[in-house]
Amino acid sequence: MHFHVADAYLDTGSVLHRLDSRVKVVITVLLILLIGLTPMGAFGAYVGFFALMMIGAVLARVDPWLVVRRSMVALPFAAAAVTLVFTVPGRTLATLPVAGLSISEAGLIRFVSILFKSMISVQAAVLLMLTTHFTDMLWALGALRVPRVLVAIISFMYRYIFVLVDEAMRLSRARDSRSAVLAGQPERGQSVLFRARTTGRMIGNLFLRSLERSERVYQAMLSRGYRGELRQLSPPSLSGQDVLVGLIAVGVGMALTGISLLLR
Amino acid sequence: MHHTVEIENLSFQYPDGHQALRNISLHIGPDEKVALVGPNGAGKSTLMLHLNGLLRPSEGEVCVGGLPVTDENLGQIRAWVGLVFQNPDDQLFNPRVFDDVAFGPLHMNLPEEEVRRRSVEALAAVGMENYADRISHHLSIGEKKRIAIATVLSMDPKILVLDEPTAMLDPRSRRSLINLLREMERTMLVATHDMRMVEELFPRTVILDGGQIVADGPTHQILNDEPLLEAHGLEKP
């Protein structure tokens, strides 16, 4: 019995899947940066960026609606900006009957802009996840000179999170199979305190197991010649086509942001 | 080059005071295949960790391929000794199978072409050539055990040290692993509880109990000495 994270990766074998993962990571990061730099209320640019994402989804042969749906995770975070509607000074659109709060036009524009910008940024990340296998992403991060230690930490996390969850599931199953009740006896498991204590012990147990595992893994690394420096096979050279795709995508983003900054 | 293991009067005490090994002397010749058996807690794993310097003797000396296990020789000795841990989830610490197989040669500072060639060959040697891009977590335990062996084969070790290679395997995976070990011509020290495999594969058997070597001889002789086996919690296959 294994725990599988519903991996975000969706293999459709499209052109976007075959694109070099370094290029995809760079495009994604730069586009998110450009979206962030686009001024408030530049709705034309937002539509342009959104169209770019949808073109990406079509090229990746994934359902564009899936990309939009997954980007909804940004909504709760963006909603934290809702106070702007009431606090930014500007022309009053309406006054709420409670606490004398008034909705300002400038605040509303700012709030809606943040909402759009965060959703489109997440869409860029979702596209990256859908088209790039996690191990390729790790490799790309290493090839892009992200510090090895950080990449190694993410890599170990990805390798062992499943092992840990499996272990936790086995522990909780072992607990459940011993949680028996005799007829006529009061059920101890009802008490919140009792449950909390059991859970606490399980977490402690899991922590100890992980600690011991980390020692064994480290021994396995030492046995195979690890001496404090992690190495990676060097990346193959980029093809001109990959670079061109990257330049076009980033170029379109720069044009959108640039024009919207000029028109401000 | 002689692929030997020479252990002289090795004693080892854990920092908590537990005396794990007492006065162990063991010589393994080139291409000899030796089984290491004994009850749980006998010190089998502790002994194995001495062979590539992960643990150092409290007393006595360990020599591998003629070199004493010291700080200066550590890199060379770890290249010679392929140590495979019992649990493949400890042995395979990279998300992708190929990266795990390439880890050893890559950290031996070999040229990259050589690293790739060796990794492909090691995977082929254990019959897992189609698994290079798989995610370790998604594999069965039998597949993981084979790949765990490939992760040291890619280092081209002179001596293979395996901890319970057939534990937790179903009969079919066990059989294919035994066939794999039989075909490998290398010095081998294998800790196991699988007495049928010992009988089939290893000409020589060493029994370890309470941190001491209590028997060392031809396998058929030891496996026919029922009082000896019984005294150390073992069973005739």
Domain residue ranges in chain A: 15-133+238-262
**Residues A132 and A40: beta-carbon distance below 8 Å:** no
Which range of residues forms the domain containing residue B21?
Answer: 5-231
CB B184 within 8 A of CB B82: no
* B149 closest CA partner among B104, B193, B117, B111: B104
| A214/B contact by beta carbon, under 8 A | no
Give me the pLDDT at residue A190, please: 66
Q: What's the CATH code of the domain at B75?
A: 3.40.50.300
- Quote the pLDDT of residue A127: 93
Contact between chains at A225 and B107 (C-beta distance less than 8 A): yes
- Residue B80 resides in a domain: yes
Residue B237 inside a domain? The answer is no
**Whole-angstrom distance, CA of residue B37 vs CA of residue B54:** 21
Tens-place pLDDT, residues A176-231: 888 777 887 776 666 788 888 888 988 999 999 999 999 999 999 999 999 888 88
pTM of the model: 0.82
Does B54 sit within 8 Å of A231, measured CB to CB? no
Is the minimum CB–CB distance between A134 and chain B shorter than 8 Å? yes
Query: In this structure, is residue B236 part of a structural domain?
Result: no
**pLDDT recorded at residue A7:** 62
Distance in Å, alpha carbon of A217 to nearest chain B alpha carbon: 5
C-beta separation of B66 from B81 below 8 A: no
What 3-state class would DSSP assign to B161?
A: strand
Contact A220 B85 (CB under 8 A): yes
- Is it the case that residue A1 has pLDDT exceeding 50? no
Please check whether residue A223 touches B, CB under 8 A.
yes
To the nearest whole Å, the CA of A227 is away from the closest chain B CA by 8
Output B53 or A3, whichever has higher pLDDT.
B53
Mean pLDDT of A11-29: 90
User: What single letter denotes the amino acid at residue B147?
Assistant: I
Nearest to B90 among A216, A225, A227 (CB): A216
Q: What gap in Å lies between CA B234 and CA B232, rounded to an integer?
A: 6
Q: How many domains does chain B have?
A: 1
As given in the structure block, the two tokens for residue A62 are 């994934």
How many other β-carbons are positioned within 10 Å of the β-carbon of residue B51?
A: 23
